[in-house]
Each structure stands twice: as C-alpha cells, then as structure tokens.
Structure 1
Amino acid sequence: MTVQSWSLTGAEALRAAPWMIVNTGPGEFQYQGRRWIFGDVIVSRIEQSECLVAPRPVVDVSDSGYTSLFFIDKGRYSFLGGDRTHTFATGDAGWAPGWAHISCETHLPTRFLVISVQDRLLTGPGRRPSAPAGRIDSRSHLLRPTLSFLRTFTATPSPEPVSAGHPSKAVFVELAAALFAQTHTSHTEEMRVEGAYEAAVAIIQARYDDPALEPADIARQLNLSLRHLQRAFAANGHTIRETIQHTRLDAAIRAIPQNAHPLTLAALAKEAGMSPKELRHAARTTFGLTPGQLLRQTRTEPES
C-alpha cells in the first residue's frame, strides 16, 4: 500500500488539483489531503475550500474503470450527474465515475472521504451502481457505520506499512458494494411505489361498489405493503380512504340523472357501495351538503 499526503495553498494548489479550479472563497484556494492506495482500491481524505470544478482538457491521471463512493464529512457540495444536479450536505453520500472527470461546486470548505474501487471488483447482482452517478439512499442502515469507519481509518496515520492485501481493502469493497445494492433496491421499490398509485386507483374505480373494499385489500392485490401504498397516495396528495370515498360519491352523483324515478337515500348509497351514514358523511365533508340537497341540486342543474 502507498500513502500520499499533500497540503497546498493558492496557485500551487490550483496547479496540483486534478481538475480546473475557479476559486470562489474569500481567501486563497486551500487543497489538502491524504490518499491510501491498495492497488485497485483507493481511499482518500480530501479537504478543499469553496470553488468551482471542471475536468481538465487533458487529464494526467487514469481513473478509467473506477467508481468513486464519496461521503461529505463536513461542508456542502453539488455535482452534475446525468441530467440533474445533486447537492450533498454533511453526512450525505453519493457516487460518480472515477474522480477526475466531474463538474461540481463546493459551496463551503468541505471534507470528502472517498472510496474509489475498480469496477471489476463490483461484479455480481446489485453490486454496481444503477446509474453512472447518483445519491446513496439516506435511509440505508449502512450509511452512518461506513462513514464512521472511514473517519476512523483516515484520521489516524498508519503506524506501519500496510500491504495491498490488507483486510481493510476487502472491507472497503464490500461496504461500497452493499451500499450500492441497498440503493438499487430502494430505487426499484420507489419505482414500484410510483406505479402503485395508478394501479390502486384503477382497482378502486373497478371495485368502488364493493362495500368490503379496504386499503389493505388493495395493497394485497398489488403485492405491496400497506405502508408503501399509503406513501404512494400521500405523494399524490390523497389518502387511500379519501380516494375510495370520492370515487363512491362521484358514482352516486352520476347515478342520479340516469334514473327516471327518484332514488331513496338507501338506494343511492347502495349504488355507490356505501351505507346511508357513509353517504351523508361523504356529501357533507366534500360538498357541505346533505345527500338530499345534493340530489335536488343535481336534478335542477341545466344540462350542458
């Protein structure tokens, strides 16, 4: 294992950095850090002041085939990944291809802790990132332990030479792979949740007249947990029960002009899969009217 250290200021720091730097801070640009090179795994602790970063036209370092998993130990940082800008604060983590070909900005003096791994070490289902760049899910139970381990490892200089085959190398690879796997699983689940709202609404529209229809029934039919289905509805500004109620009330209103003879409250409720009590409650909470007032108002509205 090779250890490299540097602490540079001003023009020297601007020349030494692997990127084109525009200093945006109040003083001279500061760039310092330490790097542990385990062959095809590189661990870095980097501190730099406020700046804009862009790739150099000709880069004298080869980061091809590496994926870098970075943690913000302190500060604030943004980078352009794909078609969007990702912003990270203290405690956040993300990934990017390599380390020398990114466009980014440090908004405050920022310390990065970075694990750069050759992609060939991340083979296997779910071990690679699901996109070239992105954010580690903040809910990952591995995020804080990995950051804590990195802080300890990088804050204490190695008392003696460490071989490239040191167990720490395997730990770093497996932590990176596990974080990517968790983020991939979370992303897949989020996509399922996004599609769940439309699928659940379709079920409600098909089964609204079933008085036994409950949110848990819909979740089971979609093979989702009730909590995930509730999240999908919350993201669209509704609860599941509200959507069932509004669908039933809409059906009751549509049933009024289709019947030549006046409907009783009980018959109208039955058309919508509700009890008379539920219909009264739905009409009052939605329109501020009783079912009778709603019926009279609907019948007297001129046809469009």
Structure 2
Amino acid sequence: MPHFALPPHTRARCIVLPAAPFSLSLAGRGVTGHADAAEVRLLVAHATMVEEVLPDLSPAGVRAARDTLVELATAVAHRGFDDVNTRLAPALTQAAKNLAEQRLTEADLSSAMLARELNVSVRTLQRAFAAGGESVTAYIRERRLESARQALSASRLIVSEIAAHWQFADSSHFSRAFKQRYGLTPTEYARQNS
C-alpha cells in the first residue's frame, strides 16, 4: 500500500484496486488525480454507486461494475478516457447528477455546462442519460421543481422568489410547470402544506 501525505485541512479518498488489470499500463506506479478532473469525478461517482448497490448485484453485475471501475481507473492513470465507451454511461450520468445537485440554483446549469465540467461532449452526456431512460434537461427541471416544492413547505418565501431562486424564467412559467408536475399551483400547495 503506497503511503502519501496530505496538507492540513484537505481530504482524500483512496481507492485500492487489484494490480493485475493495470500491470502493463501502470508499471507498478501509484496514480493520483485531482478531485476536479472529469475522470476522477466519474471514478468516484461510480465507486460510490457500486458501494451502495453491491449487495444486490448478481455475479454478472459485479463483473460489469468491476470492468467499469477498471476502465475509469485506467482513465485516471492516463488523464483521460474514451467517452464513447458505453460501460461508462452510468458513472457519467451519476457524476453529472452529483454536479447538477450542487448547482441547481445557478443560472448557467445546463447540458453544456455539465458536459464542459465533465470534459465530454454534450452528445456524449445526452447519450449517457438516454441509456438510463432520462434526459439531462428533464432531470434538472425535475430536481429544481422538487427543491422548489420543498422550499414552499419549509419557508415563507413568495412564489416569485422561489421561482427566481430555482431559475425558472418567471413565476407564471414556474406555476405552470409546478401544476403539471404536482397537480396544484404553488400557492395552493403552500396553503395546503403550511
């Protein structure tokens, strides 16, 4: 096990994988990556996802998860990855969702921004979401609506403030989307849940 030191007030996540799949490409050297690198984000997102579902995976699922971890670890080692590889779609989707969750209130949150941050093309990101039966835009909209719904229950903000905070074009656009999703206008919902 390699030893390393961290500066004070920093965090590290150490992922230890068997050496056999990497012996030719790494030649025994350890690999580190910056947390903001796209390939590291994907590796961490996939490792976290595997950790959560591992007890429920079949032997074939465990092999698929392992193969994807190997692909992602190889990408970290080579400071880039083949974004056409379909085995990376779940990890790419999860990394994009994690990033979107952190930036739901930002005006520039979009497929293009997420793709840029993850160092993939917009089309690659869209294909990754489509593999799971979703779209990037629908995911962002759904998460913003859900966050706005929670804010309506928990705060005294008015509808226009909530609409602006969660980046809806205006309060009427927000009201239409909210009613379509929850069957009530934001005002009706707030009244029922206050």
Compute the TM-score of the two structures, normalised by the length of structure 2: 0.52
Alignment of 1:77-88 (within 5 A): none
Q: Compute the displacement of 1:244 (Å).
A: 0.6
Q: Compute the displacement of 1:204 (Å).
A: 1.1
Q: Compute the displacement of 1:265 (Å).
A: 1.5
CA distance in 1, matches of 2:124, 2:113: 13
For 1:230, which of 113, 121, 126 is the aligned residue? 126
> Who is 2:135 aligned against?
239
Q: Give the 3-state SS of the residue equivalent to 2:154 in structure 1.
A: coil
> Who is 1:297 aligned against?
192
User: Which structure 2 residue ranges, 5 or more long, are not aligned?
Assistant: 1-59, 62-66, 68-81
Given residue 110 of structure 2, which amino acid in structure 1 is its aligned partner?
A: E
How much identity, in percent, do the aligned residues show?
29
CA distance in 2, matches of 1:232, 1:192: 8
Report runs of 4+ in structure 1 exceeding 6 Å deviation.
none
Task: Report the CA distance shift for 1:293/1:205 in structure 2 as closer, same or farther (over 3 A).
Answer: same
For 1:256, which of 142, 152, 162 is the aligned residue? 152
CA deviation digits over 1:166-208, x for unaligned, max 9?
xxxxxxxxxxxxxxxxxxx68x722332211000111111101
CA deviation digits over 1:49-106, x for unaligned, max 9?
xxxxxxxxxxxxxxxxxxxxxxxxxxxxxxxxxx69xxxxxxxxxxxxxxxxxxxxxx
> Who is 2:103 aligned against?
207
CA deviation digits over 1:18-71, x for unaligned, max 9?
xxxxxxxxxxxxxxxxxxxxxxxxxxxxxxxxxxxxxxxxxxxxxxxxxxxxxx
> Who is 1:282 aligned against?
177
Q: Compute the displacement of 1:278 (Å).
A: 3.4
Task: Report the CA distance shift for 1:221/1:245 in structure 2 as closer, same or farther (over 3 A).
Answer: same
Q: Give the 3-state SS of the residue equivalent to 1:257 in structure 2.
A: helix
Alignment of 1:43-192 (within 5 A): 189-192=85-88
Task: Report the CA distance shift for 1:281/1:224 in structure 2 as closer, same or farther (over 3 A).
Answer: farther
> Who is 1:267 aligned against?
161
Q: Compute the displacement of 1:266 (Å).
A: 0.9
Q: Give the 3-state SS of the residue equivalent to 1:270 in structure 2.
A: helix
Higher fraction of strand:
1
Q: Give the 3-state SS of the residue equivalent to 1:256 in structure 2.
A: helix
Given residue 298 of structure 1, which amino acid in structure 2 is its aligned partner?
A: N
Q: Give the 3-state SS of the residue equivalent to 2:90 in structure 1.
A: helix
> Who is 2:32 aligned against?
none
- Contact 2:89-2:129 at 8 Å conserved across structures: no
Of the two structures, which has the highest relative contact order with CA contacts closer than 8 Å and spacing of 6 or more?
A: 2
Given residue 240 of structure 1, which amino acid in structure 2 is its aligned partner?
A: V
Matched residues, number: 116
Tell me the C-alpha RMSD between the 2 structures. 2.6
Given residue 273 of structure 1, which amino acid in structure 2 is its aligned partner?
A: Q
Q: Does 1:198 align with 2:91?
A: no
- Contact 2:151-2:162 at 8 Å conserved across structures: yes
CA distance in 1, matches of 2:165, 2:106: 10
Higher fraction of helix:
2
